[in-house]
Copies of this chain bind each other. A is one copy, B any other.
Amino acid sequence: MNDDIAKQLRLDVLLCFAAYSASHAFSRFYRPLLDELGLTYPQFIVMMVLWEHQRITMKALADQVMLESNTLTPLLKKLEALELITRSRNRDDERVLDIEVTKAGMAMKLDGQRAALALAEATGETLEGMLDLQQRLVKARENVARHVEKAA
């Protein structure tokens, strides 16, 4: 390993820590807004998908939010207990779980979008700057994820 590079390898210059700490900071920003809706941040992320699709299989939902059944099953059961979604087995394929947003769930859409916009404004970025940042971060994520798959 190059010694000069090694000397520079500090937390405050690492992209991984920037993403890690930014994600936590964003979550803290959302908390008071989402508290009013009775949602946690991961629950909010799931609801974002449902506001778009109304009905979706758990598998497709898992792909979009990039979480697995071991995380999603308990989370979705909580959303069901809050009567924001319904969970039902698919008739054609009993393995599949269909998730559907309820009226109460859809009623939160506007407030949820307001929260997302509030964060966007709080970043201090322009719309273009934020989208550029977002796309580059997604590209880095996809590149890294490819390495994870290959290893598996």
Q: Does A83 contact B (CB under 8 A)?
A: no
Q: With A66-B24, A119-B16, A144-B25 given, is the CB distance from A1 to B113 under 8 Å?
A: yes
Of all chain B residues, the one with the shortest Cβ separation from A121 is B147
This chain: copies in complex: 2
Task: Indicate if the CB atoms of B134 and A5 lie closer than 8 Å.
Answer: no
Of all chain B residues, the one with the shortest Cβ separation from A131 is B13
16 A-B pairs with C-beta separation under 8 A: A9-B116, A9-B117, A11-B52, A14-B120, A15-B26, A15-B123, A15-B137, A16-B116, A17-B48, A18-B137, A20-B23, A20-B27, A21-B66, A23-B23, A25-B144, A124-B139
Given A14-B48, A22-B137, list of 7 further CB < 8 A pairs? A1-B113, A5-B117, A11-B64, A13-B134, A18-B137, A26-B144, A130-B140
By a beta-carbon cutoff of 8 Å, the part of chain A in contact with chain B is 1, 5-6, 9-30, 32, 41, 45, 48-49, 52, 64-66, 110, 113-114, 116-117, 119-120, 122-125, 129-131, 133-134, 136-141, 143-145, 147-148, 151
